[in-house]
Structure 1
Amino acid sequence: MAPAGLRQCLRDVSPYLVLLMAVSTLGPLQFGLHLAELNAPQDVISCRVTHSISSRVSAVFSSRASTPPADAPMTSSTLPDCIPMDEAQFAVVSSMFTLGGLVGALGSGPVASKKGRLLAMRLTSVFFVIGSIVETLGASITMMSFGRVFSGVGAGAATVIVPIYISEVAPPRERGTFGAMTQVSINVGILITQTLGYFLSHGSAWRWALGAGIIVSAIQGLGLLAVPESPAWLATNKNAAQAKRILQRIRGRHHDIAEETATWDPDAVAPEEEALLDDNSTTVVDSSSRRSSTTSRASSKNAAPLGFIQVVRDPQYRPAIVAVVGVMCAQQLCGINSIIMYSVSLLRDLLPMSSALLTIMISAINLITTLACSPLPDKLGRKACLLLSIFGQGASALALALSILFEAKILSAVAVLFFVAFFAVGLGPVPFILASELVGQEAVGATQSCCLAASYIATFLVAQFFPIINAKLNKRFGGAGWVYFIFTALAVLSGLFVIWRVPETKGKKDADDVWGRPRRRD
């Protein structure tokens, strides 16, 4: 069965589709890049130490620094080597990224629905460029915060738009697998920035790590010139001919797209063509066909893009909104970003190896596990993967809390690795897939905005308050690791929520099939 499935997947994937995936996922990659970019160089950026890399690498850089070029004094006087910050100030700079992400998530859905996925993705590359430049040249807390906000807007928009675009260009049989590519690219970005931070955490070299975002966003902007608009969006907006041409190019010249286009063909017919069809149908169809035609026209009207407020207030979409918002909150409140954003400072004195090096290992395992588990949502189901991920993370958080508390350093390292690995099983990729499967085409942009907005609010809470709560709990009870008991409890609550409120979408044709309801009629 596995070889047959693999052969089918290879038949469905054209080189052009690979190009579209590679370019479009540069947006989520930059989300990961900016999310974790301050982790490894935190102590250097905030002037606590002059370097935080291994002594061997530090010695190499120190020897080079002993004979600086002639223009070095001007460089160091123009941009400071570090920006003095305490824990609270650094948390503010770090969490500004999530506030920008909230703005980007809320604003990008309506733009993508009304103006198209392609224009929205191109706008994200502009925000990424601006944010990366401002961060790289930042000389104060205020300037760094502004740069983080701009980067956050791009990231928030990218994590809304790209999963939608991928779900609309991916082959229907492999939509879950391709949907996981959003999380894979985020993990690639995290691994890149953690590795750069490990080697560039000294002097002002950390600015080069932040400057990597400029290069990636420039490549994204150029690559998007070769990316077409989503066929599904074009079909919904009455451009059937162009939609079919693009879909045929994506699938390959000899691929039969008839079955795939059948679901949106009625919505893609221009008004004048619809009139001709109506005239013709009156002489050749029976009463049951007329009822089907009426339903199709009603469905066509319902396919018009809906705004954020419309979707939130409509009772039909309320169960989907509750489900995707709950899952996105669970993704963050189970504690993954306590590791991604603060692992270097958190694990500095707890583990028998360099915490920065362990962070690179964590990022690599996150990426490898996400890749390995990407077929699971299509095989086990979305809900099963979520539950396995949540309860696995909860158990790992409990083990981490106890191992830190009792200073079992090897167990702490193992618990951290399992914590990240279980995240990759379901909580990482599945939430990005659900929004496009729980609602119809007319509401997917607003729903994705809603769930990503919830994600960024939850991420902000973790980014802003995790260091503070962690310090207070450790001071109050003595020792360390107490905060992971909270994450264990949140994992239990998240699992119960998924059991009660999140439906399975594997094998369902559309949102009506998921919720077991007839199609809406006017």
Structure 2
Amino acid sequence: MPATTLRQCVRDISPFLLLLVLISTLGPLQFGFHLAELNAPQDVISCRVPKSSVSSRLSAAFSSWAPSSSSNRAATSTALPGCIPMNDTQFAVVSSMFTIGGLVGALTGGPISSARGRLFAMRLTGLFFVVGSVLLTLGTSIAIMSIGRILAGVGAGAATVIVPIYISEIAPPRERGTFGAMTQVSINVGILGTQTLGYFLSSEATWRWIFGVGIVIATLQLLGLLVIPESPAWLATHKNVSQAKRTLQRIRGKHYNIEEETAFWDAGAASPEEEALLDDSSTTLVNPSPRRTSVSSKASGKSNSHLGFFEIVRDVQYRPALVAAIGVMCSQQLCGINSIIMYSVSLLRDLLPINSALLTIIISAINLVTTIACSPLPDKLGRKTCLLLSIFGQGASALALALSIVFGAKILSAIAVLFFVAFFAVGLGPVPFILASEMVGPEAVGAVQSCCLGANYLATFLVAQFFPIINVALNERLGGAGWVYFIFTALAVLCGLFVIWRVPETKGKKDADEVWGRTRRLD
């Protein structure tokens, strides 16, 4: 990074902005936390293996934190059983309920944040996280655990819609791409955190403390959201320009000149909240012309026009973008990443030369590191190139994993798992969240993003619900293990062909018209 660029970046980023990003990304962090929370303690929770924690002293310490009197400890022990009997199908149901809640949250989070504000919507997600975590911590049956997973999923689904929007609206225009990657980074931090907790706390006496940590994180999020401001772009959109400017000045710092960012607020240009969504590090429009609109826009000249799902589906101009965006979001899950994130401990047990729970921590750490390291690649290589590298890399890794498990090559199995996760971070991790806002105009980006995330959660549900069932069925029918990864290899090939055929390159394109080769006009 050139010295002048680095100085500009440091000047644009205030400590208050960093605090806002830290607090807001606690939402996506909890998405990652709850996504993987059942992985390590699966056998203990479901009464299959009375597994002891790796550190018996640590387990004893956490167990001793129960109510101090022996009578209270006895009552707690009676009220909260050490495990909940579940077979593979029942456990898959509990696990997949998170994605059902996520679907509901993704579809409703956008409209609520548009109508009531980003801050209100984020606080609502915090309440869902708290209640869901409490039910999971105190759950005594499959039904209660499932309800807890659904509520946590609602919070997670809404957070993955709202937080990227909020961050894009408070980040400086030149650093929106960098700050946009924080959503994916925080998800990976949550995954790594819960996998690490699971490694140390997977015993009958301590597994509930994993979910208890979720209560703590959600409480910290709610407290933090009491001190952060509403998005200035949302305030400007809702005719409170003076307050929006004061808020933005506070975020940028009192010596920062915000006139360039706020010029179109007074001019009554297109919705500033959605202008922000169109910006990233490579396609920033610092002061877009208020007269330039998408050729397909139904909102020309209106400052607050938003198109709904059915309007987009009926319009032939938007349909290719909708299909491309949904296809990429589904590819993110159908290539099989969550078969590792959610089930790696039980899947890889006895197949690899090291403890599978420890390998899962290593996998999560690699996922986090590679996500951070690869975050500049979409701007350097292009979105489509990164997607294809990621998809075919995961497909090759899935094939290597399947063959190595079938033929008992344990070292190769471990290496294949690590490459499987690393290739995900190259493109399928961050790029799908970027594409939606680059393939459509500002009038349609909200609806398209909600549709994409809804499709993503449906695909996640399919993997969470049916992966363990199909895995067991194939293993019993064909003998041995690992056969399910041949399916993921085939899915990766199909997803790659879809990207080649239907997904355009958006790198360096100024707007949706240029992406699709349409002629722009001035209204």
Task: Give the TM-score, by structure 1 length.
Answer: 0.89
- Deviations 1:483-506, CA, capped at 9 Å, x for gaps: 111111111221222222222333
Q: Does 1:473 align with 2:474?
A: yes
Contact 1:160–1:445 (Cα < 8 Å) also in 2: no
Asked if the contact 2:32–2:187 (Cα under 8 Å) also holds between the matched residues in 1, the reply is yes
Cα deviation for residue 316 of structure 1 reads 3.1
The answer for the alignment partner of 2:76 in structure 1 is 75
Q: Which amino acid aligns with 1:88?
A: T
Amino acid at match of 2:56: S
Question: 2:497 aligned with 1:510, yes or no?
Answer: no
Q: CA deviation at 1:64?
A: 9.4
Q: Which is worse superposed, 135-144 or 257-266?
A: 257-266
Q: Deviations over 1:118-138 (max 9, x none)?
A: 211111111111101111110
The 10-residue stretch of structure 1 (348-357 or 175-184) with the greater mean CA deviation from structure 2: 175-184
CA distance in 1, matches of 2:357, 2:291: 64
Work out whether residues 53 and 202 of structure 2, in 8 Å CA contact, stay in contact via their aligned partners in 1: yes
Kindly provide the CA deviation profile for residues 327-352 of structure 1, in whole angstroms up to 9, marking residues without a partner as x. 11011000000000000000001001
Which deviates the most, 43-52 or 411-420?
43-52
Asked whether the equivalents of residues 62 and 206 of structure 2 are also in contact (C-alpha less than 8 Å), the reply is no
C-alpha distance after superposition, 1:337-370 (max 9, x if no partner): 0000000000001001110111011111111111
C-alpha distance in structure 1 between counterparts of 2:39 and 2:290, whole Å: 62
Larger helix fraction of residues: 1
1:11 corresponding residue in structure 2: 11
Give 1:27's aligned residue: 27
Change in Cα spacing, 1:337 to 1:134, as seen in structure 2 (3 Å) is same
Over the aligned positions, Cα root-mean-square deviation in angstroms equals 2.8
Q: Counterpart of 2:169 in 1: which secondary structure?
A: helix
Q: In percent, how many aligned pairs have the same letter?
A: 74
1:19 Cα offset (Å)? 1.1
Aligned residue pairs total 501
Aligned to 1:274: none
Return the letter of the residue paired with 1:439: V
CA separation of 1:5 and 1:405: change in aligned 2, threshold 3 A: farther
The answer for unaligned runs of 5 or more in structure 2 is: 272-288
State the match for 2:95 in structure 1. 94
Matched residue SS, 1:50: coil
- Confirm or deny that 1:133 pairs with 2:131: no
Assess, with a 3 A threshold, how the Cα gap between structure 1 residues 461 and 218 changes in structure 2: closer, same or farther: same
Aligned to 1:218: 219
Closer, same or farther in 2 for the Cα pair 1:309/1:122, shift >3 Å? farther
Distance 1:85 1:310, change over 3 A: same
In the alignment, which residue of structure 1 is the partner of 2:375?
374
Residue in 1 aligned with 2:283? none
Considering only CA atoms, is the larger Rg found in Structure 1 or Structure 2? 1
Partner of 2:419: 418
8 A Cα contact 1:180 1:430, kept in partner: no
Alpha-carbon spacing, 1:60–1:518, altered in 2? closer, same or farther (3 Å): closer
Q: Deviations over 1:256-278 (max 9, x none)?
A: 334433455533699xxxxxxxx
Q: Distance in 1 between matches of 2:291 and 2:229?
A: 36
Distance 2:298 2:314 in 1: 23
Kindly state the Cα deviation for residue 31 of structure 1 after the two structures are TM-superposed.
0.4
Tell me if the contact between 1:31 and 1:186 (Cα under 8 Å) persists in the aligned partners: yes
Q: Deviations over 1:84-143 (max 9, x none)?
A: 000000000000000111111111111122222221111111111110111111000000
Higher mean alpha-carbon deviation, 450-459 vs 252-261, is at: 252-261
2:70 partner amino acid: A
- Residue 434 of structure 1: aligned partner: 435
1:45 matched residue in structure 2: 45
State the distance in 1 between where 2:229 and 2:166 align.
10
CA distance in 2, matches of 1:3, 1:517: 38
Which residue matches 1:244?
245
Structure 2 CA distance for aligned equivalents of residues 13 and 65 of structure 1? 43
Please give the secondary structure, in 2, of the residue aligned with 1:73: helix
Q: Deviations over 1:399-419 (max 9, x none)?
A: 111111111111111111111
Given the two structures, how large is their TM-score scaled by the length of structure 2? 0.89
Q: Structure 1 290/471 Cα, relative in aligned 2: closer, same or farther at 3 Å?
A: closer
Range 61-70 or range 252-261, more displaced: 61-70
User: Contact 1:398 / 1:485 at 8 angstroms: preserved in 2?
Assistant: yes
Following superposition, the deviation at residue 225 of structure 1 comes to 1.8
Q: What residue in structure 1 maps to residue 282 of structure 2?
A: none
Contact 2:475/2:482, CA 8 A, preserved across alignment: yes
Distance 1:467 1:475, change over 3 A: same
- Larger deviation: 134-143 or 173-182? 173-182
CA distance in 1, matches of 2:181, 2:15: 19
Counterpart of 2:128, as a letter, is F
3-state DSSP of counterpart to 1:49: coil
* Inter-partner Cα distance in structure 2 for 1:297 and 1:346: 50
2:396 aligned residue: 395
The aligned counterpart of 2:168 is 167
Residue 65 of structure 1 deviates from its aligned partner by 7.3
How is 1:51-200 mapped onto 2 (pairs within 5 angstroms)?
51-54=51-54, 57-58=55-56, 61=59, 70-71=70-71, 72-200=73-201
Alignment of 1:276-287 (within 5 A): none
SS at match of 1:299: coil
The yes-or-no answer on 1:36 pairing with 2:26 is no
- 1:372 deviates by 1.4
- Shift, 1:250, TM fit: 2.5
**Separation in structure 1 between the aligned mates of residue 6 and residue 290 of structure 2, nearest angstrom:** 42
Cα distance in 2 for residues equivalent to 1:434 and 1:463: 25
Aligned partner letter, 1:97: F
- 2:281 paired residue number: none
Q: Is the CA contact (8 Å cut-off) linking 1:33 and 1:190 kept in structure 2?
A: yes
User: Would the alpha carbon gap of residues 6 and 383 (structure 1) be closer, same or farther in structure 2, given more than 3 Å must change?
Assistant: farther
CA distance in 1, matches of 2:516, 2:133: 42
- 1:63 shift after superposition: 10
Matched residue SS, 2:353: coil
Question: How far is the alpha carbon of 1:520 from its aligned partner?
Answer: 7.6
Paired position in structure 2 for 1:456: 457
Q: Cα offset for 1:205?
A: 1.0
SS in 2 for 1:226: coil
Q: Residue 302 of structure 1: CA displacement?
A: 6.3
Residue type of the alignment partner of 1:25? T
Shift of the 450–520 alpha-carbon distance from structure 1 to 2, 3 Å rule, reads farther
CA distance in structure 2 between the aligned counterparts of 1:449 and 1:64, rounded to whole angstroms: 41
Secondary structure of 2:412's counterpart equals: helix
What is the letter of the counterpart of residue 166 of structure 1?
I
The residue type paired with residue 413 of structure 1 is A
Structure 1 residue runs of 5 or longer lacking an equivalent are 271-288
Task: Give the CA deviation at 1:61.
Answer: 4.0
- 2:320 is aligned to 319
* Aligned mates of 1:399, 1:301 — CA distance in 2: 54
